[in-house]
Copies of this chain bind each other. A is one copy, B any other.
């Protein structure tokens, strides 16, 4: 059953950008999906219409109290030219978990996925097919009620916008340098860290600027309570290979439940590679480095899929991981995940959804 959506096609189509020069999240397609919420009527008026600026009251609560959530996923073109999504139901589940934390009314996950499919269907020519490219999908919800009261809004707007994105690794996958952040905090216990909400992201800009000024690509976040346990890297989940075992921080309310993270764990289990989710003291990583047991390290997320870590700076020490080369498990994960996502390899897990 197809959900009913009012579709208004754009009169003029944009010129599609050169896939070679695509940047992340700067170009948007011809159409967008929107739907409104009022506390009386619930979610109403699903429509697909030309991508365009929206009129919003300056008192809209999203501007003042950041009541908003978002998601990020990708559509790929498979070798038969069909559009393929990667585990989209996981993203809509997480959207509703984020909604709950931010006191935003839930969205029907099945309908939302159907709306997305209809939008992708209309925009399928926008999915680039060159190596490493994809159509990035950004669902998001903002509080639109004009009110300065510090309380959940009565009105919201849900959007899905689409952006063709280039390869995260135009010069091939390469390990990056990471700085462990021991002053700034991304998210606290009891805070919003496990929700995909804007405040977690802008809160990290200062730390990112500090890391960049010292020549590092990203920040590794420690827990907000003791500044002792590893949490995330930049806006990705993080994994380490120590003496043959892959470890990643166990989920808590300050760690985002990454869809790529989940897929990595499932893939490792499928391969019979030992993997465990547990609290990881930063000191343990350092000790493993000192004893020569820190074998690989990488981040996982929708944008980069897998991002190898070549160097970790913590206080005054710098740890070189695997001679700054991409490790074997890291490489296999990247290849297998991207091959499944793009339909170039069989998907034994049922992760991909053809449109």
Cβ-defined contact, B63 with A140, below 8 A: yes
Cβ-defined contact, B65 with A201, below 8 A: yes
Cβ-defined contact, B148 with A136, below 8 A: yes
Cβ-defined contact, B205 with A152, below 8 A: yes
Cβ-defined contact, B58 with A103, below 8 A: no
- List the B residue with the shortest CB-CB distance to A185: B190
By a CB distance below 8 angstroms, the chain B residues around A102 are 202, 205
- List the B residue with the shortest CB-CB distance to A181: B190
By a CB distance below 8 angstroms, the chain B residues around A224 are 185, 188-191, 224-225
The yes or no answer to A55 lying at the interface (CB within 8 A) is yes
What is the interface size of chain A, counting residues whose CB is below 8 A from a CB of the partner?
Answer: 69
Which among A7-15, A24-32, A319-327, A335-343 touches the partner chain? A24-32
**A264 to B: closest C-beta gap in Å:** 21
Given A59-B161, A185-B189, A191-B188, A202:B66 Cβ within 8 A: yes
A136-B189 Cα distance, complex, nearest whole Å: 34
The yes or no answer to A263 lying at the interface (CB within 8 A) is no
Taken together, the copies of this chain in the complex come to 2
Cβ-defined contact, A62 with B59, below 8 A: no
By a CB distance below 8 angstroms, the chain B residues around A103 are 202, 205-206, 209
Which among A192-200, A267-275, A288-296, A344-352 touches the partner chain? A192-200
By a CB distance below 8 angstroms, the chain B residues around A234 are 150
**A178 to B: closest C-beta gap in Å:** 15
- List the B residue with the shortest CB-CB distance to A28: B59
Cβ-defined contact, A25 with B59, below 8 A: yes
Cβ-defined contact, A66 with B68, below 8 A: yes
The yes or no answer to A257 lying at the interface (CB within 8 A) is no
The yes or no answer to A84 lying at the interface (CB within 8 A) is no
The yes or no answer to A125 lying at the interface (CB within 8 A) is no
Cβ-defined contact, B59 with A56, below 8 A: no
User: Interface of A with B (CB < 8 Å)?
Assistant: 23-26, 28, 32, 51, 53-59, 62-68, 70, 72, 101-103, 136, 138, 140, 142-143, 146-152, 159, 161, 163, 183-192, 197-206, 208-209, 224-227, 234-235
User: Could you list 14 further interchain pairs (A-B, Cβ under 8 angstroms) beyond the known A26-B146, A66-B66, A66-B199?
Assistant: A25-B59, A53-B56, A55-B55, A58-B159, A59-B163, A64-B201, A66-B202, A152-B205, A152-B209, A185-B224, A188-B189, A191-B191, A191-B224, A225-B225
In the assembled complex, 30 residue pairs joining A and B whose CB atoms fall closer than 8 Å, in A order, are A24-B148, A25-B149, A26-B147, A28-B58, A28-B59, A28-B146, A51-B58, A53-B55, A54-B55, A63-B68, A64-B70, A66-B68, A67-B205, A103-B202, A103-B206, A103-B209, A138-B148, A148-B163, A150-B201, A150-B235, A152-B205, A152-B209, A184-B191, A185-B188, A185-B190, A185-B224, A191-B224, A199-B199, A199-B200, A199-B203
A-B interface, 8 closest residue pairs, ranked by CB to CB distance from nearest: A199-B199, A25-B148, A66-B198, A188-B188, A185-B190, A66-B66, A65-B201, A103-B205
